[in-house]
Structure 1
Amino acid sequence: MPIKDAEVSDRRTSALSPFRHRIFLAVWVASLASNFGGLIQSVGAAWLMTSIGASADLIALVQASTTLPIMLFSLMAGAIADNFDRRKLMLAAQIFLFAVSVALTLCTYFGLVTPWLLLTFTFLVGCGTAFNGPAWQSLVGEMVPRSDLPAAIALNSMGFNIARSVGPALGGIIVATIGTFAAFAVNAVSYLGLILVLARWQPVRASRALPPESLGSAMAAGIRYVAMSPNLGVVLLRGAVFGVAAIAVQALMPLIARDLIQGGPLTYGLLLGAFGAGAVAGALLSTRLRQALSLEALVRIAFLSFAVCAAIAGLSPLALLTTAAMALGGASWVLALSSFNATVQLSSPRWVVGRALALYQMATFGGMALGSWIWGVAAEWYGTADALLIVAGMLLAGAALGLRFPLPELKTLNLDPLNRWTEPKIAVDILPRSGPVVITIEYVIRQADVVAFLAIMAERRRIRRRDGARHWTLLRDLENPEIWIERYHSPTWLDYVRHNQRITQADAAVGERLRELHQGPDRPRVQRMIERQPGWPTSDPGSQARDIADPLTDPTRSS
């Protein structure tokens, strides 16, 4: 169950506050070990592709093959995470990643790896990551209170980048001294700790009042929620732009090490290590920076700083200067991505947070997959240095994009369920799958209040459609113009129940304003009806089912 804010309300939030919660600390430490192994494997895969004489575009595709599955499968993974046990999904993903890593180790040891077989294995690693990501990120909200969530997200980024600061250099040493198969073997072993922690953790699960949604319906609901949430749309856009541009530095880093500063696998590992060290510093400073700067200002600085990193990497022949640039890029990377991630989590209720995170990952990592291919081709055609200068220009444009599409400020919205709704008693015997159900709500609005009423109903329409209502319309009585009727459909009675249970505390302001505007003798009148075709038997559940309350207009009684 999610940890309540009241448990830590008397404690001051800091960058390390989430470590007070034992399960978060245990999973974080186990994930840190797994991240070490994953980055060691990344070094081995990238250098193996380089050493077997692959072209620049195939080298860049190592990064693309890892991120492409995140774009393809994250929404499915998010839907599964929101409807089933997130811990079990994460555990299954870790076991799959362990099996893939063992297979890659064996193939490499026996000399069976070709460029396309290596891309296949890295694609499978990306598949495991795609199913692990939404489950892990949404589980954070069950490990720490909402007040600690931004710090926990930054700590997750810091954990990955602590591994990045040391793991790649260690990977370079392993590859140079023992061979790439050893790097893959270390990664396989690194999954065992996290598998053990997840297998032993038995969280208290809240009972589900409703059956899980079907996979297709759950995915559609996630897309609909994000599409009807403007703030989330801005985050997805900015994340995609950042992903397309910023991934170039990592995708082309083997070529930066080999061609621009004339180094080998150890140099490549040191560049990755510097990138990770900068990211750790960025994560530690993130809480203080968010207190001093607006979210948009912080993200613009991250775009501009990463542009400087790309430009220096493209122009510098000096290993020391390029290493410093990588540190700057790492700090910019974690500040931008942790800000995007925190905004998505704080803007999404628990019932859909896995899918919202999945769509964010699809946008950002889809941009990374596309960018890896684009910049690999650009390096092949124009050279690595010129490609990086183009990247710097694109990142400057990404910072300017904030003038037109600024990020929303992080606000602690109360996205807990409103909990004013209970399933009404109806006179008709219907099944959960019966439908379509038609709902009408009647308001009495004075002429002087019509403009204000229409404005609040625009927000009402967004909330209804976001939570699953279909065919929403607003009608005005031609004989009595003070009467307005809100009308919408739900495909089934079960969908109608889900719709009402998704209303949050933050949505209550809409209902409060509508109650103020309604001038009828009683609360707005609600009618619930099920569609019925002529010729149906009279025993069929097609009669009207009525009641007189609505969860967004009645503060005390459920509809």
Structure 2
Amino acid sequence: MPASSGGSFAPLRQPVFAVLWTATVLGNIGSFMRDVASSWMVTELSASPAAVALIQTAATLPIFLLAIPAGVLSDILDRRRFLIGVQILLALVSGSLLLLAKTNTLTVEYLVALTFVGGIGAALMGPTWQSIVPELVPRSDLKNAVALNSLGINIARALGPAAGGLLLASFGAAAAYGADVLSYVFVIAALLWWRRPATVDSGLSEQFFGAFRAGLRYARASRELHRVLLRAAVFFLFASSVWALLPLVARKMLGGTASFYGVMLGAVGAGAIVGALLLPRLRQRLTADGLVLLASLLSAGVMAALAMAPPQWVAVALMLVLGTGWIIALTTLNGVAQAVLPNWVRGRGLAIYLMVFNGAMAGGSLGWGLIAQEAGVPGTLLAGGAGLVVVALLFHRAKLPTGEADLQASNHWPEPMLTEPVAHDRGPVVVQVEYRIRKHDIPAFLHAMKQVAQERRRDGAYAWGVAEHTGEPGRVIEWFMVESWAEHLRQHQRVSKADADMQAAALRFHVGPEKPVVHHFLALDLKDGRP
């Protein structure tokens, strides 16, 4: 990806990005106000650590369950209209919490249920919001735009919890929920103002279930995405312990009030802002793997220190360190995930990343909450911190991808030769590519074809193979199967420039007088003998 010449804040020169970014910050401030009110209210309604951790689980579990369907929707629907609908749903959730708090009828059951519905809204919004970023800025500013989104979230994390805690302490939970409802007005207004360019209908629009299968095929075949998901899962599984137990740390271990809890969360956001500002310098000295290791060590150190029940001012300072470590991990892992995903599957790929992230947070939060009931909060924090250090060192060898491949469409495949039109839903399709390879080059050719096989599967093939003619050594057939003619035409549009280079590396072993011959075969219906 070309480096941006405008600096870290260059994306804000784009008016649409600047307006939507500002609206998102305001919306996230409201969301953090709501979250701090809900986290504190559950400690008043129940003293059980499991009940407290359940709020975190209810918020993140829907994202784990619905992330992939949400990613599919973000890739096949109008993203602007979809986001407006999600914002209305979230406003209704906070409005319901407002009414329950105002009438003193809020219970743990209502709180968990509405938090779960809010999690559904977050699940639908997450991949869609991230997917629109490439539409708002030049490609050279994409990494800076991703970093600014993380910075915006943490500006909200710095302001929202502190403001929510003050509102909660001064006017009650209803005021915090009301402020959140108001924040959605700004977000919806910004989305209505945005005039998203109409997309050209190529006639190859994906349907939900086909897009769902295509996304899963891509994720299954992308080894680069696998490494990102693995590193994210192990980090968030252990790091979730401090988030699940933080309300109890503030209230029970440190004797704090709702305002103090808000200040602690605000300090996390302030630390994240500091971390975001430090990241450009850190990237000059550390690789992505080094940054994740640094984030793990910082987070683990905070957990160990909190387990000692330090004075409140020390705890606030520790939250600054936690925020720094948290933003380093979030920005690094999310940035790598963005960099390895092509545009056509970006929503689905990010949804899978968010599913792993929130699944690890949800499962970890519930698990650490149950452990805390038996081992106590201090012991659980120590166990989480020790585990985070161990897995960080063990998985440091599973190197993250560099994300430097050019994923722009190459459009170098020629259009298939047709004697008559083919219905888009007809299939499956078998594609054969015939090569001529010298006998002594076949091992090297097959090694190069391993990369080609992954690319074919990522872009739509559900089966792939290579075979040699029994009577003509060196006459090699590559074949792959696609579920429909439309899906094969989409393959033509999905092949990236990096994929083209990969295919060229295999083609250099072809010694025929012409390019490899490509054949397309369409399935026939054996029942009536018709296509």
TM-score band by shorter chain is: over 0.9
Moved more, 26-35 or 46-55: 46-55
Alignment of 1:281 onto 2:278: no
Alignment of 1:488 onto 2:480: yes
Aligned match of 2:220: 227
Alignment of 1:24 onto 2:23: no
Pairwise CA distance, 1:214: 2.1
Three-state SS of the structure 2 residue aligned to 1:315 is coil
Asked whether the 8 Å contact 1:234–1:407 carries over to 2, the reply is: yes
Three-state SS of the structure 2 residue aligned to 1:113 is coil
Deviation sequence 1:14-51 (CA, Å, 0-9, x none): 22121111111111111111111111111110111111
Letter in 1 for 2:423: L
Asked whether the 8 Å contact 1:345–1:357 carries over to 2, the reply is: yes
Aligned match of 2:308: 315
Asked whether the 8 Å contact 1:240–1:364 carries over to 2, the reply is: yes
Moved more, 446-455 or 352-361: 446-455
Three-state SS of the structure 2 residue aligned to 1:517 is coil
Asked whether the 8 Å contact 1:134–1:357 carries over to 2, the reply is: yes
Distance in 2 separating the partners of 1:376 and 1:25 = 40
Distance in 2 separating the partners of 1:403 and 1:327 = 25
Deviation sequence 1:147-167 (CA, Å, 0-9, x none): 222221221111111121122
Aligned match of 2:93: 100
Distance in 2 separating the partners of 1:403 and 1:519 = 43
Moved more, 61-70 or 491-500: 491-500
Task: Report how many residues are paired.
Answer: 531
Moved more, 298-307 or 400-409: 400-409
Alignment of 1:385 onto 2:378: yes
Pairwise CA distance, 1:422: 5.1
- Where in structure 2 are the equivalents of 1:121-520 lying within 5 Å? 121-411=114-404, 413-421=405-413, 423-520=415-512
Letter in 1 for 2:287: S
Deviation sequence 1:330-353 (CA, Å, 0-9, x none): 111111011111111111111000
Pairwise CA distance, 1:13: 4.2
Deviation sequence 1:513-550 (CA, Å, 0-9, x none): 2332111111101111122355745xx34xxxxxxxxx
Asked whether the 8 Å contact 1:303–1:398 carries over to 2, the reply is: no
Letter in 1 for 2:134: G
Letter in 1 for 2:153: F
Q: Which residue of 32, 36, 46 maps to 1:39?
A: 32
TM-score by length of 2: 0.97
Distance in 1 separating the partners of 2:445 and 2:417 = 30
Three-state SS of the structure 1 residue aligned to 2:266 is helix
Deviation sequence 1:422-451 (CA, Å, 0-9, x none): 543412443111122211111000112112
Deviation sequence 1:96-139 (CA, Å, 0-9, x none): 11111111101111112110110011111111111111110011
Pairwise CA distance, 1:244: 1.4
Q: Which residue of 520, 523, 526 maps to 1:531?
A: 523
Pairwise CA distance, 1:252: 1.1
Pairwise CA distance, 1:170: 1.6
Pairwise CA distance, 1:508: 0.8
Three-state SS of the structure 2 residue aligned to 1:310 is helix
Three-state SS of the structure 2 residue aligned to 1:120 is helix
Aligned match of 1:544: none
Distance 1:470 1:327, change over 3 A: same
Give unpaired runs (5+ residues) of structure 2: none
Deviation sequence 1:30-82 (CA, Å, 0-9, x none): 11111111111111101111112341111111111111111111111110111
Distance 1:476 1:204, change over 3 A: same
Letter in 1 for 2:76: N
Distance 1:405 1:383, change over 3 A: same
Asked whether the 8 Å contact 2:406–2:496 carries over to 1, the reply is: yes
Distance in 2 separating the partners of 1:233 and 1:515 = 27
% identical equivalent positions: 38
Q: Which has the higher helix share?
A: 2
Pairwise CA distance, 1:401: 2.8
Aligned match of 2:77: 84
Alignment of 1:51 onto 2:44: yes
Distance in 2 separating the partners of 1:512 and 1:148 = 29
Asked whether the 8 Å contact 1:14–1:287 carries over to 2, the reply is: no
Pairwise CA distance, 1:396: 0.1
Distance in 1 separating the partners of 2:122 and 2:289 = 29
Distance 1:522 1:198, change over 3 A: same
* More RCO (CA 8 Å, sep 6+): 2
TM-score by length of 1: 0.92
Letter in 2 for 1:276: G
Pairwise CA distance, 1:460: 1.0
Pairwise CA distance, 1:357: 0.3
Letter in 2 for 1:382: A
Distance in 1 separating the partners of 2:237 and 2:98 = 31
Aligned match of 1:550: none
Distance in 2 separating the partners of 1:219 and 1:344 = 19
